[in-house]
Amino acid sequence: MRHLKHLINSETKTSGGDTPLMLACQANNVEMVDLLIKSGVDMEPQNEFGNTPLMFACQQNNVEIVNLLIQSEVNMEAKNTYGETGFIVACKLGHLEIVNLLIKSGANIESQNADGHTGFMIASDYGNCAMVELLIKSGVNMEAKNQYWQTGFMLACQNCNFEILDLLIKSGVNMEAKNRYGETGFISVVAHKNIQFEIVTLLLNSGMHIDTKNVKLQECVLEITENIFGFSKYNDELTYERFFFNSDNYFNNMCNTLVLLSEYDFYVPHRERKNQEYMYKENCQKLKEKFQIKIQKYEMMKHTIAELWTKNDIFVINTIFDFAHGHEKLQTELEMLKNNCLSIPKKF
């Protein structure tokens, strides 16, 4: 008891700056926390990382200790060196009951960390649908932006999280918000390395505006086209391996997305032939081999070209045939694909 009294009345800390109250919170020791509070210890100490007892209690998901600290009028808005409050910590870790308690106790749900992320943005980024729903019902600002001007919606697009995006759209989120580079969430979806056709469809069916003059979006459409037909503008072996040895579902997603985007009037200035020729001189034979290895995907290519021909998509079709310029073998492959679309009016 004498040792305990010494701890309570002194400034004893660990080498990292943790006080007895912090250690009790980390250990989920409710009785010790209650004793220390009643003994009048400092409720607002911060260790070397700026963490407080409340942050540790939120981290441990201990509702009883968090409630004890709140009843003792602890400062709920204190921030650590990362700019995080106890509320943000709880949102990040997905501790729903703690977040709900903090909201009811008056915590600032719009608090932002050092990168400008709110708890709502973090939950959207992490794909925690229950947390996002709770915060929306609590009146959180869905349009808040981080230091990169990204919103929660844009972060969800970046991670291709269908459930979160569906919830946000139904809640009336602004789908047209742009980041500091002038890019919307839709560009993040189309640029994703594992593009999801169902998400592309969700956004387009929800009235998402497609800026066909956006250079980044144009490049994304070009890259999808290149991937489908086995062409890489980066002359990178890994790109070939990623495409040719992936799942058929990924390939189908790209094909379906390209056909869907062909409804829009994209225009991209003609690329320099010099760059294209360099690319194909290095990779022509490699592409030919990959075409032979993955013959089952040949039928999907034919189907995609047929769809594009039907829609008379000048942008995509020109891109495809420009790639093969000056390379007899690739031209032969594409001619074979084109000739299999006999019922489709030819545009060339």
Q: How far is CA 255 from CA 48, 143, 196, 296, 316, in A?
A: 52, 33, 11, 14, 12
pLDDT at 135: 98
Residue 348 lies in a domain: yes
Predicted confidence pLDDT, tens digits, the chain (348 residues): 445 555 555 467 888 889 999 999 999 999 999 999 998 899 889 999 999 999 999 999 999 999 999 999 999 999 999 999 999 999 999 999 999 999 999 999 999 999 999 999 999 999 999 999 999 999 999 999 999 999 999 999 999 999 999 999 999 999 999 999 889 999 999 888 778 889 999 999 998 888 888 888 878 877 777 776 654 444 444 444 444 444 456 777 777 787 777 777 765 444 443 444 334 334 434 444 544 444 445 555 556 655 665 555 555 555 555 555 555 555 565 566 555 544 444 433
pLDDT at 320: 56
Residue 260 lies in a domain: yes
Residue 7 lies in a domain: no
Residue 236 lies in a domain: yes
Residue 102 lies in a domain: no
pLDDT at 199: 93
How many domains does the chain fold into? 1
Residue 285 lies in a domain: yes
Q: What is the DSSP string of 238-297?
A: HHHHHHHTS-HHHHHHHHHHHHHHTTS----PPPPHHHHHHHHHHHHHHHHHHHHHTGGG
Residue 201 lies in a domain: no
**Full domain range(s) for residue 320:** 210-348
pLDDT at 241: 42
Residue 74 lies in a domain: no
Sign of CA dihedral 24, 27, 28, 31: negative
> What is the model's pTM?
0.74
pLDDT at 288: 44
Radius of gyration, alpha carbons of the chain: 28
pLDDT at 105: 96
Phi-psi region of 50 (alpha: psi -120 to 50; beta: other; left: phi over 0): left
Identify which of 18, 16, 20, 17 has the alpha carbon closest to the alpha carbon of residue 6.
20
- Segment 308-311 long-range contacts (CB within 8 Å, at least 24 positions apart): 308/258, 308/259, 308/262, 309/338, 309/341, 309/344, 309/345, 309/346, 309/347, 310/344, 311/259, 311/262, 311/263
Identify which of 67, 71, 99, 104 has the alpha carbon closest to the alpha carbon of residue 85.
99
